[in-house]
Amino acid sequence: MNVLNVKPRLLLGPGPSPVPFTVRRAMSEPVIGHMDPQFFAIVDEVQSMLRTVFGTANRLTLPVSGTGSAGMETAIVNFVEPGDTVIVVVAGVFGGRIAEAVDKIGAHAVRLEVPWGQSASLEQLKSLLREHPETRLVAVVMAETSTGVLQPLTGWAHEVHRMGALLLVDTVTSLGGMPVDVDTQEFDIVFSGTQKCLSAPPGLSPFTVSERALERLDQRATPVPSWYFDIAAFRHYWGQNRVYHHTAPISMIYGLHEALRLALEEGLNERYARHRIVAGALWAGLQAMGFELLVDPAIRLPSVTTVRIPLEVDERRVRAELLDYDGIEIAGGLGNLSGKIWRIGVMGHGARLPNMIQLLVALRQRLVNQGRDVPSGVAAAEAAYRANNRQGAK
C-alpha cells in the first residue's frame, strides 16, 4: 500500500468547500477521550459558538455525529410519527429527500411542488395548511443546493404555528454564509452541515431545536425509531449530565471548533457581505462571457451559482478538463437539471475574488478548446467587485 498523496484541488463545487489550514491543523491535535473534561470544555465552546452562528439561545444546540443527511434523519425520526401529515416543499433534490424520509417512517408527506429554479410562496403554504389542518410539521430547504435558490421564509413560522405545527428548516448550504436567524424567524428544528459555508470537512451536522419542539418531542406517542439519532438519548451527553451515548468524532469536533472560531473572528456580518460581494462578481463575470444564470436575482443564492449550459457545449468534458488540467472542481446538475446546468460554489474559505477569477479564466480556455469564441469575464467580475465592495471585503 502506498502512503496517501492527495493532489490538492480548488473546490468550487456545491460542497465540500476549501478547508483552511488552521482547521486542518486543529484536526491534527492529539486525540483524547470523549469523556475527558478537557474535551467537554471544547464541546461547550462549540455549542456556544454554534448558537451564535445559528442566531439562537436554544439550549439544545449541538453537532450531530454524521453529515447533513444525518441531521435530516435526526429531525424526521424525532419529530414525525407514523400517520402524521407533513407538508414538504419540494423545489429540488434535497426537498425531495426530506419527503422520502417522511414517507419511509410511515408518515404522509404532502408535497408542495415548485418548478426547479423557483421558490414557494407564503400563499401556497397557507393554501396547503387550509387543505390539511391536521399537519404536524412543515419542512423546507432554505438554500436548495441543487438549484441555487434561496427560499424566502418571512412569515412562515407564524402560519405554521397558528395551525399548531412545527417548522423544520434545512440550512445546509446557508449556515455561515448568510443569516439564518433561528430565534428571530422562530424556526423550530434546524439542521445544517459543516462542509459548506463553514469550511470544515464533512462529517458533522449542526443542529438546534426550540423549546416548543422539545415539548412536542416529550409528548410522542410512539418510540423514536432510531437508536443512534434518538435525541432523548444523546442530549444528555451534550448537556450537563455527560451521560455516555456514542463515541464523539473527536478530531471533527476540533475542526468545527476552529472553523466556528474563524467565522466569529471574521465577524458574521462581514462574512455574509463577503459571500454576497464575491458571488456578485462571479455572476457579472459569467454573464459577460455570455452565460445565462438559472435563478432570478431576487432569490439567487450567494453560496451556489447555477449556470445554464449552452446546448452545443460538452459540459462533462468541460468539468473533466477543469479538474484534470486546472485543478478546479465544479459540479453538474442533479435530477431534472442534470446536463443542463453547472453548479459553482461560493462558500466559506473559497468565497474569494482570486478564486472566481481563476475559474473564469480556466472556464474560458476550456470553452475555447471546444471551438467557442468566448469573451473574457474577468474585467466585469473585477468591476462588480469594486462597485459592491465599499467596505473592503477581502
4 within a domain of the structure (yes/no): no
Same domain for 320 and 348, yes or no, is yes
**Pick from 247, 264, 281: which residue ends a domain?**
264
CATH of the domain at 354: 3.90.1150.10
- Give me the count of residues in the chain: 394
7 within a domain of the structure (yes/no): no
Work out the average pLDDT over 154-182.
98
Same domain for 98 and 155, yes or no, is yes
Work out the average pLDDT over 30-55.
95
More confident residue, 243 or 142: 142
Same domain for 84 and 178, yes or no, is yes
CATH of the domain at 236: 3.40.640.10
**C-beta separation of 9 from 331 below 8 A:** no
Same domain for 84 and 72, yes or no, is yes
12 within a domain of the structure (yes/no): no
**In angstroms, what CA-CA distances link 179 with 79, 128, 244, 288?**
25, 27, 33, 29
**Pick from 240, 264, 288: which residue ends a domain?**
264
- Whole-number Å distance between alpha carbons of 186 and 156: 9
Same domain for 126 and 223, yes or no, is yes
- Whole-number Å distance between alpha carbons of 44 and 39: 9
Amino acid at 263: A
Condensed to tens digits (0 to 9), the pLDDT of residues 288-321 reads 999 999 999 999 999 999 999 998 899 999 999 9
* Joined grid coordinates for residue 28: 491534527
Same domain for 205 and 276, yes or no, is no
**Max intra-chain CA distance, the chain:** 65
Number of domains in the chain: 2
Same domain for 87 and 127, yes or no, is yes
152 within a domain of the structure (yes/no): yes
Same domain for 251 and 324, yes or no, is no
394 within a domain of the structure (yes/no): no
78 within a domain of the structure (yes/no): yes
Condensed to tens digits (0 to 9), the pLDDT of residues 244-273 reads 778 899 999 999 999 999 999 999 999 999
> In which residue are the cell numbers 463545487 written?
13
15 within a domain of the structure (yes/no): no
Binned at pLDDT 50, 70 and 90, residue 239 comes out as confident
Q: Percent helix, strand and coil across the chain, each rounded to 5?
A: 45, 15, 40
Work out the average pLDDT over 121-140.
98
**In angstroms, what CA-CA distances link 233 with 74, 128, 246?**
12, 34, 10
- Residue 312: which domain range? 267-388
65 within a domain of the structure (yes/no): yes
**In angstroms, what CA-CA distances link 394 with 7, 24, 304?**
26, 22, 19
Condensed to tens digits (0 to 9), the pLDDT of residues 328-382 reads 999 999 999 999 999 999 999 999 999 999 999 999 999 999 999 999 999 999 9
Same domain for 288 and 252, yes or no, is no
Same domain for 146 and 238, yes or no, is yes
Helix (H), strand (E) counts: the chain? 14, 14
**C-beta separation of 245 from 257 below 8 A:** no
**Pick from 264, 286, 304: which residue ends a domain?**
264
User: Taking the complete model, does pTM exceed 0.85, yes or no?
Assistant: yes
pLDDT, position 390: 67
Same domain for 252 and 278, yes or no, is no
- Whole-number Å distance between alpha carbons of 126 and 142: 18
Tell me the average pLDDT of the chain.
Answer: 96
Same domain for 236 and 315, yes or no, is no
pLDDT, position 394: 47
Instruction: Report which DSSP code applies to 298.
Output: G
Phi-psi region of 124 (alpha: psi -120 to 50; beta: other; left: phi over 0): alpha
- Whole-number Å distance between alpha carbons of 253 and 20: 15
Give the pairing type, strands 328-329 and 10-11: parallel
